[in-house]
Amino acid sequence: MDELDVEIVRLLQTDARQSNRELARRLGIAPSTCLERVRALTRRGVIRGYHADISLAALNRGVQAHVSVKLRVSSRPFIDAFQEFASRLPEVLSVFVISGDDDFLLHVAVQDLDRLHAFLIDRLSKRREVAGFRTSVIFQQVRNPVLDRLDDPPPAP
């Protein structure tokens, strides 16, 4: 990615709804050049889609938590089965397969603490493959809406 590609990605992260003409104007390039660059970034998998940023509270999901899950057996069939199960739960926003003492980190969003407790007891603790879990309620979240490419550090002398 050259500097122009990086700037296109940055501007689209800021406002993905801007027109190609507006994006080109902000970049100081021709609309045809801008369109071709965006298409190339999409073909290369840099741009994977365009999404709306929705308020969880507006969807009646005012309580968020991270749930660390440990499986009884850490083998591929158990990991794959649990990942498939967890990713289909309506309370789960993200499923991360992780290293360390736990096998998964779930990001969940529910209506209230009673619903979080019900999720933990009725959904997770009933799974035979789950050895245990730990829950951290999220009080505040700050998200960086614009991610820049990280360059490799300079080689050591």
State residue 145's pLDDT score. Answer: 80
Q: How confident is the model at residue 149 (pLDDT cuts 50, 70, 90)?
A: confident
Residue 145 DSSP class: S
Q: Which residue has the higher pLDDT, 154 or 92?
A: 92
Kindly list the structural domains of the chain, giving each domain's residue range(s) and its CATH number in brackets, ordered by start: 3-43 (1.10.10.10), 57-138 (3.30.70.920)
* Digit-coded pLDDT (tens) for 59-112: 999 999 999 999 999 899 999 999 999 999 999 999 999 999 999 999 999 999
Residue owning tokens 């829950």: 135
State residue 27's pLDDT score. Answer: 96
Using DSSP, state whether 38 is helix, strand or coil. Answer: helix
Using DSSP, state whether 89 is helix, strand or coil. Answer: coil
Q: Report the C-alpha gap between 120 and 154 in whole angstroms.
A: 46
State CA 117 to chain mean position distance. 23
What is the dihedral angle through the alpha carbons of 119, 125, 126, 131, rounded to the nearest 10 degrees? 150
pLDDT at 156 over 80: no
pLDDT at 42 over 90: yes
Q: How confident is the model at residue 120 (pLDDT cuts 50, 70, 90)?
A: very high
With CA atoms as reference, report the closest residue to 10 among 23, 22, 25.
23
What pTM does this model have? 0.83
Q: How confident is the model at residue 151 (pLDDT cuts 50, 70, 90)?
A: confident
Q: How far are the Cα atoms of 44, 121, 142, 153 from residue 101, in angstroms, in the given order?
A: 36, 21, 26, 30
